[in-house]
Structure 1
Amino acid sequence: MGVFGAPRPAARCTECTRLTYPELLFFFETTGDGETERQRCALQRGHPGAHTAGIAKHETGAEGAWWLQWDSGGHHCIELAHCTAYRAAHPDYDICQLPAGHWGYHSWLLTD
């Protein structure tokens, strides 16, 4: 634990993957978005299960986003809600940038 019982920052997972051309096309056609071909896992290092990277936010303002999940079995594109945690004490009211139900610390406690 850090100062005053707050958790210390944790390392973000370092696993990366590349989107295939059909995946890039899907995200572009579906959302008009699709950030980049190379994706890094957004979860805390040591997480169980598939790696997860946010690919595109909903243009409609819906609560959620498109996520890429991958493991040794390949890539899976999935629509997931965002985690609802936020730091009320932070001046910008940081909202967690990970999917709902994620394992480990919230995004603001993860470091590269």
Structure 2
Amino acid sequence: MNIQIHVVDKNGKVLKTRVFEISENLFRHFAKSEFSTLGVSRKTPVVIDEELVELKLVLLSPFVRQALTGYLKDYLVGLLKGSLEKMGDSPSRLEYQEHTKDLREFPDLIQCIENDKYTHLDRMG
């Protein structure tokens, strides 16, 4: 499962895409949470690799950026706290990997959403 964030120019050409891999559990959580309601997903024609496609994208306006980053930062704190509690004092390597997979993606995702260069979010990519 992934979330994608795009740099789209004024002509609708996708110049850059960042893909953030997340667990199925987190994907389901986001689908049922405030994350899925912040901003409006609209069918948007874009050009990817010289091909015109239509994607359901959220335009990252200043308000949407602020709302999404606020939500993600709050969620990250809770996720980090929960992961640390689940791992205990001496987690195995497998436990560590399992409980930190989603944590690794959050800082970069938040930074991309805050970066004005990125213009559109595909939250269900």
> Relative contact order: is structure 1 or structure 2 higher (C-alpha 8 Å, sep ≥ 6)?
2
TM-score range relative to shorter protein: under 0.3
TM value normalised by structure 2 = 0.26
- TM-score, length-normalised on structure 1? 0.28
- The structure whose Rg is larger is 2
